[in-house]
């Protein structure tokens, strides 16, 4: 029984003043197993973010269905966490209060909140910044706050939309390691959207290659990595082979997408 | 298409008035239709027109003074950066004090009569006009100034051809705000200390409990203020669009 | 020398000039009394407590107007932000609202509500509420869409999302509305008291004027000026502290 499935999901944005109808997703079929790490790569504008919106229940599919834990998804179901591409930290709250937000919202007792938040802060390496405000932190740290805020609610499915997009390469590799650590600790199912091939190859159990708009999966490539992995695998031979295989698949689509841009 | 929304708004306001009238009744209100009739009758009454003239005269002079003095204060402060920095908090503070508290002082200085009313209107209008003018001049794109120097324009040419058009949109906004506030100031002055003018008539109607007259005068004032402001706003927006 | 020191010197200089002109009789005492005499008179009045009921009455009315304007303004602004069609229709109202002489409605309000405190509070409220609505709308417009998505991911309903995410995000703008609400409430209530009322600071100034009591009149004028300037400066300082948290380091 899969954890999340998308069956024949399409998403059409209706025509608006001066703009034609936009087919963001052409039938998408996807099944994610519980605890799987799945990465999505694709050319820009192919509908990756729309896919995430539909999966999270932020957006309803125009046709087809999204099923999470055997329930049809209508609105955002409990047990899902999302880390967005843009900074979603709340500027009016300290790092501590940001992370505590969801727990307090659920009415958790303050003692329990403090304990959970402390754990999340330590896990994400934010200890010295607990009382700081997001404006005083770097972009990478703010993303960590968002991840911690998601983590602390113990979601069973975590969706990440190019979370490390704004960071430099070294920081991204390290953040990738942290994401893997998080994945192993929580046992959550993870869907990561990224434009960085090496990131997708390194982190995921399977990599889905999306076509240019309207987006659909051209190929789903299993990586075969062991669960205990980290960024050192980037120097292995199989990593190089996998990455070039993905790029071969992706290259044509990227050119097509560029032409349409 | 663009006319539909304002008409709808006017219609809703009219409905609201009618509805309030139905609830409150003749003891405190009149219907919109009756008020319009009363206003018509009032405008035709020759005893009424001198008051209108008085108010317009006071307002006109006060507004003119506000524009001249406001620009005379604002433009130099905008050009002289440091002076502007010193003066700005003072101007902002003046903007937020209830200027009505200064009325007795004005009455003591000018005595009751037209000069005091003109002063009331003027002090209300001067502050926003000067603040907007200061910001308008301050924010003139330095590139314009450099272009002017490259073109070797004379100071007169520089002012007329470059500074004035660049600063005009914001100055017009300030004048628009100053217009409304000067009107409010003139009216308030007439309500507080005068024997003539629309403001005085309004207070007189209140003490006589003449509800028809209160409503007719209020309607006249509101419509006049709103209509002129709408025109000035259209001018304001077209200037800003052209400048953008 | 910094701008603020020059400013202080400037203001002090003007006050000193006024003092000299009054003391030497260039400005006659039945027109303006010396600033030192104003301060002395104010001190005596406050110490004697003679006008304390008036001061309390005015400040209470101002406070009520502010509170009502904030509650109604934020609620209406939040509601309108989610209803673009209504907002479009009301737009001309927003644009012309402050051009209309609100005091013209005062006689009408007195006729409807009688001569108590309510008409004054109503004028203050009417002047203040629109500024709160406009600034609340402005602030809510600027909430980054990603925060709205984050609120939905946390499964917040519309009311919870407004109270726990949208309004806190818009807080700097709501605060601007609050500053304006304070200024307008003072202007509205005190202005109305001048026109006609039976108690309050504005009433006492008007009464003193009519009875040629310059000492009391100027003392109370000074009181209002000092009060409003102090309140505005405090709000400004508070705002700076709140905004400092949000400024990129």
The pLDDT value given to residue A131: 93
How does pLDDT run across C37-81, given as a tens digit for each residue? 999 999 999 999 889 999 999 999 999 999 999 999 999 999 999
The pLDDT value given to residue C189: 94
C166 pLDDT tier (thresholds 50, 70, 90): very high
The pLDDT value given to residue A14: 84
The pLDDT value given to residue C142: 93
The pLDDT value given to residue B138: 86
- pTM across the whole model: 0.88
Has residue A155 got a pLDDT over 90? yes
How many angstroms separate the CA atoms of B158 and B162, rounded? 5
How many angstroms separate the CA atoms of A238 and A224, rounded? 10
CB contacts of C153 in chain A (<8 Å) are: 56, 58, 76, 80-82
How many angstroms separate the CA atoms of A29 and A216, rounded? 8
CB contacts of C214 in chain B (<8 Å) are: 108
CB contacts of A56 in chain C (<8 Å) are: 153
In this complex, which of A86, A87, A136 lies closest to C249 when CB atoms are compared? A136
Walk across the sheet containing A217-222 and list its strands.
Answer: A80-83, A157-161, A189-193, A37-41, A206-210, A217-222
- Tally Cβ neighbours within 10 Å of residue A89: 26
Determine whether the interchain pair A58/C152 forms a contact, defined as Cβ–Cβ distance below 8 Å. yes
Question: Does the CB of C90 have a partner CB in chain B at under 8 Å?
Answer: yes
Question: Does the CB of C248 have a partner CB in chain A at under 8 Å?
Answer: yes
Cβ atoms of residues C148 and A88 within 8 Å: no
How many angstroms separate the CA atoms of A214 and A64, rounded? 15
How many angstroms separate the CA atoms of C149 and C67, rounded? 31
Q: Do chains A and B touch (3 or more CB pairs under 8 A)?
A: no
The pLDDT value given to residue B31: 87
Which residue, among B2, B55, B104, B121, would best test binding to C if mutated, counting the most C CBs under 10 Å from its CB?
B104
CB contacts of C62 in chain B (<8 Å) are: none
> A: neighbours with 3+ CB pairs under 8 Å?
C
Q: Do chains C and B touch (3 or more CB pairs under 8 A)?
A: yes
The pLDDT value given to residue B159: 67
The pLDDT value given to residue B45: 86
In angstroms, what separates the C-alpha of C228 from chain B's closest C-alpha?
Answer: 6
Segment holding C69, helix H or strand E: helix C52-81
Residue with tokens 């003066």: B87
B244 pLDDT tier (thresholds 50, 70, 90): low
Length of chain B in terms of residues written: 244
Question: Does the CB of C190 have a partner CB in chain B at under 8 Å?
Answer: yes
ipTM value = 0.88
DSSP A16: B
A260 pLDDT tier (thresholds 50, 70, 90): low
C249 pLDDT tier (thresholds 50, 70, 90): low
Determine whether the interchain pair B107/C209 forms a contact, defined as Cβ–Cβ distance below 8 Å. yes
The pLDDT value given to residue C78: 96
Question: Does the CB of C224 have a partner CB in chain B at under 8 Å?
Answer: yes
Which residue, among B14, B84, B86, B185, would best test binding to C if mutated, counting the most C CBs under 10 Å from its CB?
B86
Question: Does the CB of C96 have a partner CB in chain B at under 8 Å?
Answer: yes
How does pLDDT run across A6-16, given as a tens digit for each residue? 888 888 888 87
Determine whether the interchain pair B222/C100 forms a contact, defined as Cβ–Cβ distance below 8 Å. yes
CB contacts of C245 in chain A (<8 Å) are: 91-92, 133, 135
Determine whether the interchain pair C156/A105 forms a contact, defined as Cβ–Cβ distance below 8 Å. yes
Domains parsed from chain C with CATH numbers: 36-244 (1.10.3720.10)
Has residue B203 got a pLDDT over 90? no
CB contacts of C91 in chain B (<8 Å) are: 5
More confident residue, C164 or A250: C164
* Contact residues, C window 100-129, toward B, CB-based 8 Å cutoff: 100-108, 110-112
How does pLDDT run across A225-245, given as a tens digit for each residue? 888 888 788 778 888 888 888
Number of A–C residue contacts, CB under 8 Å: 53
Share of chain C above pLDDT 70, in %: 99
Helix axes C214-244, B103-110, angle to 10 degrees: 140
In this complex, which of A56, A92, A135 lies closest to C168 when CB atoms are compared? A92
Q: Which of C104, C141, C139 is nearest to C243 (CA)?
A: C139
Segment holding A32, helix H or strand E: strand A22-32
CB contacts of C209 in chain B (<8 Å) are: 104, 107-108
In this complex, which of C152, C164, C247 lies closest to A76 when CB atoms are compared? C152
Question: Does the CB of A248 have a partner CB in chain C at under 8 Å?
Answer: no
- Report helix, strand or coil for A86: coil
Domains parsed from chain A with CATH numbers: 4-79+156-260 (3.40.50.300), 88-154 (no CATH)
Determine whether the interchain pair B214/C108 forms a contact, defined as Cβ–Cβ distance below 8 Å. yes
The pLDDT value given to residue A261: 55
How does pLDDT run across A161-190, given as a tens digit for each residue? 998 887 788 888 888 888 898 899 889 999
Helix axes C167-195, B164-192, angle to 10 degrees: 40
The pLDDT value given to residue C19: 92
CA C154 remoteness from chain centre: 38
Question: Does the CB of C148 have a partner CB in chain A at under 8 Å?
Answer: no
Share of chain C above pLDDT 90, in %: 68
In angstroms, what separates the C-alpha of A70 from chain C's closest C-alpha?
Answer: 19
Which neighbouring-strand residues pair with A161? A193
CB contacts of A74 in chain C (<8 Å) are: none
In this complex, which of A56, A91, A135 lies closest to C153 when CB atoms are compared? A56
Determine whether the interchain pair C111/B100 forms a contact, defined as Cβ–Cβ distance below 8 Å. no
Determine whether the interchain pair B226/C195 forms a contact, defined as Cβ–Cβ distance below 8 Å. no
Question: Does the CB of A76 have a partner CB in chain C at under 8 Å?
Answer: yes
How many angstroms separate the CA atoms of A159 and A142, rounded? 17
Has residue B192 got a pLDDT over 60? yes
* Contact residues, A window 97-126, toward C, CB-based 8 Å cutoff: 101-102, 105
* Contact residues, C window 13-32, toward B, CB-based 8 Å cutoff: 30-32
Length of chain A in terms of residues written: 261
In angstroms, what separates the C-alpha of A223 from chain C's closest C-alpha?
Answer: 30
> What stretches of chain A show up as alpha helix (H) in DSSP?
48-56, 95-105, 110-123, 139-151, 169-186, 197-203, 237-260
CATH label, B51-213, candidates 3.40.1390.20, 1.10.10.10, 1.10.3720.10, 3.40.50.20: 1.10.3720.10
CB contacts of B225 in chain C (<8 Å) are: 96, 99-101
Residue with tokens 């990599």: A207
Length of chain C in terms of residues written: 249
Determine whether the interchain pair A86/C154 forms a contact, defined as Cβ–Cβ distance below 8 Å. no
DSSP codes joined into one string, B118-141: HHHHHHHHHHHHHHHHHHHHHTS-
Question: Does the CB of C219 have a partner CB in chain B at under 8 Å?
Answer: no
């Amino acid at each position: 029984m899969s954890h999340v499935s998308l069956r024949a999901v399409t998403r059409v944005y209706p025509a608006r003043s001066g703009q034609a109808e936009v087919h963001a997703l052409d039938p998408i079929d996807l099944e994610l197993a519980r605890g799987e790490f799945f990465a999505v790569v694709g050319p820009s504008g192919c509908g990756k973010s729309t896919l995430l919106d539909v999966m999270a229940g932020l957006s309803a599919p125009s046709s087809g269905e999204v099923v999470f834990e055997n329930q049809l998804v209508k609105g955002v179901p409990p047990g899902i966490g999302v880390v967005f591409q843009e900074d979603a930290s709340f500027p009016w709250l300290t790092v501590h209060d940001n992370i505590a937000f969801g727990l307090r919202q659920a009415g958790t007792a303050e003692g329990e909140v403090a304990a959970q938040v402390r754990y999340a802060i330590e896990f994400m390496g934010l200890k010295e910044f607990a009382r700081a405000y997001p404006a005083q932190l770097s972009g990478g740290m703010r993303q960590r706050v968002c991840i911690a805020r998601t983590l602390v609610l113990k979601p069973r499915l975590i969706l990440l939309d190019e979370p490390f997009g704004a960071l430099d390469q070294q920081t991204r590799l390290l953040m990738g390691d942290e994401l893997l650590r998080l994945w192993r600790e929580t046992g959550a199912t993870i869907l990561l959207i990224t434009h960085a091939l090496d990131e997708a190859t390194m982190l995921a159990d399977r990599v889905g290659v999306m076509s240019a708009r309207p987006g659909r999966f051209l190929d789903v490539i299993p990586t075969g990595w062991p669960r205990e992995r980290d960024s050192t695998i980037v120097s292995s031979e199989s990593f190089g082979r996998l990455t070039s295989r993905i790029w071969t698949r992706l290259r044509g689509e990227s050119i097509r997408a560029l032409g349409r841009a | 298409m663009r006319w539909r929304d304002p008409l709808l708004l006017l219609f809703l306001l009219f409905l609201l008035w009618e509805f309030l009238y139905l609830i409150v009744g003749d003891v405190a209100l009149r219907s919109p239709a009756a008020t319009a009739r009363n206003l018509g009758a009032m405008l035709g009454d020759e005893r009424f027109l001198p008051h209108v003239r008085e108010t317009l005269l006071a307002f006109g002079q006060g507004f003119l003074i506000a524009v001249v003095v406001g620009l005379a204060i604002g433009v130099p402060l905008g050009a002289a950066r440091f002076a502007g920095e010193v003066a700005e908090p003072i101007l902002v503070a003046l903007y937020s004090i209830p200027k009505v508290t200064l009325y007795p002082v004005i009455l003591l200085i000018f005595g009751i009569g037209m000069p005091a009313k003109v002063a009331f209107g003027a002090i209300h209008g001067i502050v926003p006009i000067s603040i907007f003018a200061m910001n308008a001049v301050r924010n003139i794109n330095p590139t314009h100034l450099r272009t002017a120097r490259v073109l070797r324009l004379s100071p007169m040419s520089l002012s007329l051809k470059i500074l004035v058009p660049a600063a005009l949109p914001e100055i017009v906004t300030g004048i628009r705000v100053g217009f409304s506030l000067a009107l409010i100031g003139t009216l308030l002055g007439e309500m507080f200390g005068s024997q003539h003018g629309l403001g005085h008539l309004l207070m007189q109607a209140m003490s006589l409990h003449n509800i028809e007259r209160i409503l007719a005068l209020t309607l006249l004032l509101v419509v006049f203020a709103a209509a002129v402001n709408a025109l000035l706003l259209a001018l304001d927006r077209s200037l800003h669009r052209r400048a953008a | 020398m910094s701008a603020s020191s020059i400013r202080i010197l400037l203001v002090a200089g003007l006050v000193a000039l006024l003092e000299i002109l009054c003391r030497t009789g260039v400005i006659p005492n039945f027109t303006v009394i010396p600033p030192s005499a104003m301060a002395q008179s104010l001190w005596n009045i406050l110490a004697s407590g003679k006008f304390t009921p008036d001061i309390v009455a005015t400040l209470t009315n101002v406070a009520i107007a502010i509170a009502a304007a904030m509650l109604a303004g934020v609620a209406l602004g939040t509601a309108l932000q989610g209803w673009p069609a209504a907002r479009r229709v009301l737009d001309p109202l927003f644009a012309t609202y402050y051009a209309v002489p609100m005091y013209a409605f005062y006689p009408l309000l007195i006729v409807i509500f009688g001569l108590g405190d309510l008409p004054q509070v109503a004028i203050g409220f009417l002047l203040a509420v629109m500024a709160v609505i406009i600034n609340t709308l402005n602030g809510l417009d600027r909430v980054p869409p990603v925060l709205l998505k984050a609120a939905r991911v946390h499964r917040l309903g519309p009311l919870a999302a407004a109270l726990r995410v949208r309004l806190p995000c818009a807080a700097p703008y709501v605060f601007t509305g609050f500053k304006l609400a304070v200024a307008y409430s003072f202007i509205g209530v005190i202005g109305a008291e001048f026109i006609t009322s039976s108690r309050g600071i504005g009433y006492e100034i008007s009464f003193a004027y009519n009875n040629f009591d310059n000492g009391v009149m100027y003392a109370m004028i000074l009181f209002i000026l000092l009060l409003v300037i102090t309140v505005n400066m405090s709000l400004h300082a508070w705002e700076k502290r709140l905004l400092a948290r949000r400024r990129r380091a």
